A and B are shown apart, each in its own frame.
Chain A
């Protein structure tokens, strides 16, 4: 039997992937939008629904970023409500190990697992730095170097609490000193599914040690295969089998009646995603300076990027450019060679869709990635709320089923069961 593909639905988030200017774009906050996407994913027999977390609104040039979708709900509250309108779909959310505490969060996740009949999943992230901390009691208390220490100890603490089955516990570590009785009996999954997104060496090691799945960013086939080999290779030293950690990149796709039609649609979506104003802001994220005086239809700045990484122009978003000068040189060369404006260049170099083509060619590509061990499945990131996955569920899922690489009914009632995790 060929490898079976894992599929998840990412609710469109607060970045320029999400197109709000399209007339079909619905509310980003009404519960109806969340319910619609979750029901669509469940109709398509997806493994889980995924919702990110917000701790502070993004800022650029010291002002609240106003060009992308802004605002979102509390993760756990929406996931628990979705448990009422779905029956098999896993319910995964990002929850930050820096600005939550183990007893409260483990209790909430175990509650979600009980109230959903075993469908809870937790994407563990950490946020160092003072920016988010300004909304919380402890402020930016966590050193960058300690972020995986806290994440690892947090996961271990949560597992200790879940394993206590409503009994006594005493947890002492560098980050935590708590004791008492955990007020939740063992939940249907025992442990909610743990996802992790870090990509550095420390992040990979954390995932190899603690996670059930990795939400990866590796999209290119060879690069993804290398990542897959590397992470799966780390499992043995923790006594784990390769199948016990699923690798699931976040990807976007565009379907068309022909490949040319799909390419044309993809270009239209890219222009919606990169408005003239957004083009300047995205360029500023690399250049790290105020470029508001530049014409988005004109050439790139002649000055080089600013290299002060302590004082970046964008706040509330992970750093994306490890070598600003090198990337800037590449962008300049590309713009000059093809005579591209700022906006045209940004459309080319940022966030291009990963899978573009007919339903049949997209199904074939997705399957190739999984069968050649570039990944175990995909977290699909649609660009439209809430109907952005309709075409995938209607057109691609049946083709994957025909190939015998995707389920035709849910195997289990718990998320662990459907993911094939112990």
Chain B
């Protein structure tokens, strides 16, 4: 069984060439996708726009920016991500995030902060709205029928008429259906409340070892999420010798397990985690520049030699990850 391999980039650079260089190296190594970290409160660029900036200059790698559902407009999220999918020819994804930070609430203003439980239900509603808007145009909506003068068949466009506790959204989208139909949605899921309530395709989880990875996979499957991909997150500090790597790690702590060692040792660790039933590994480079280089140059060839990873030839992210083709919920539905 081979694993999927992703990298989590947390860089705060505003230098486009630096981003392009990093993503190109990951692309050339055959890495399945990169996530782009973001919060409103950090110093750093907007992640959706970074993903869009590198899209025309890369070929195969999935581009999965973080975007926050707290205080943002689900309509804008949906159209931006659909557009990223158009711009990248089907390589877009979205890592959903909520913001419980009161300082971030003050940046955006206007609304009283919500508790975490409400933030998750709001995120679940946002995911639902985003997904419905992606489906609100059927694939064949544009007909360009000169005899009747019609550019679209409006029966193939659909109002989504979403009403929830936090917002209502009428629809349809302004963006024709994205190439993947449904770009890939992911979320960091430390607890059952996330995998129970968010309709996402990929869970990023944080096992401490192979046993906890197996337990997490079992729990998620027991919650009925049998068709979801489960990635294990791993922070990595790599060096040619273990001592240097450990020195680089210093006192780093993380929600995920922290690895320090050689690429050979990391390949061995990943081989050890593979039987837990995880779908893939998301590597969080301790340093975006140094460790990403070690991953693409040293680790990936080792994983390929050991049969743990095979770069996919598929051009769109859903297919790369083995997700089923997205069925449009409005296909065959009544007119808008």
Contacts and interface: CB of A to CB of B under 8 A. Distances in A.
B103 A74 contact: no
Contact of B45 (A68, A115, A278): A115
B44 interface: yes
A391 interface: no
B175 A103 contact: no
Given A31-B87, A184-B45, A134 B170 contact: yes
**In the complex, which of the residues B55, B80, B107 has the most CB atoms of chain A within 10 Å of its own CB atom?**
B107
B151 A101 contact: no
Contact of A185 (B19, B43, B86, B144): B43
A260 interface: no
B41 interface: yes
A254 to B, nearest CB: 21
B53 A56 contact: no
A30 B86 contact: yes
Nearest to B92: A77
A166 B43 contact: yes
B46 A111 contact: yes
**In the complex, which of the residues A57, A100, A107 has the most CB atoms of chain B within 10 Å of its own CB atom?**
A57
Nearest to B47: A111
Interface string A62-74: 0110111111111
Nearest to A275: B149
A421 B176 CA distance: 37
A77 B107 contact: no
Given A54-B174, A76-B80, A99-B73, A66 B154 contact: yes
A408 to B, nearest CB: 27
Interface stretch (B161-169, B258-266, B309-317): B161-169
Contacts of A66: 150-154
Interface string B60-82: 00000000000111011001101
Contact of B44 (A64, A112, A177, A183): A183
B154 A64 contact: yes
A22 B195 CA distance: 49
A111 B14 contact: yes
A184 B103 contact: no
A311 to B, nearest CB: 18
A72 B53 contact: no
A104 B108 contact: yes
Nearest to A170: B106
Contacts of B73: 99-100, 136-137
B189 interface: no
Contacts of A112: 49
Interface in B77-101: 79-80, 82-84, 86-87, 89
A77 B43 contact: no
B86 A184 contact: no
Return the 6 tightest CB-CB contacts between A and B, nearest first: A54-B174, A277-B149, A114-B14, A134-B170, A178-B109, A77-B83
14 contacts: A20-B144, A20-B151, A74-B175, A76-B49, A77-B52, A81-B56, A99-B73, A111-B45, A116-B16, A117-B16, A136-B75, A180-B103, A183-B40, A278-B149
Interface of B: 14-16, 19-20, 40-46, 48-50, 52-57, 71-73, 75-76, 79-80, 82-84, 86-87, 89, 103-104, 106-110, 137, 142, 144, 146, 148-154, 157, 166-172, 174-176, 336
Interface of A: 20-21, 29-31, 35, 54-57, 63-64, 66-74, 76-78, 80-81, 83-85, 99-101, 103-104, 107-108, 111-112, 114-117, 134-137, 139, 166, 176-181, 183-185, 187, 275-278
Given A101-B110, A137-B73, A180-B104, 4 more contacts: A72-B175, A135-B170, A178-B109, A277-B150
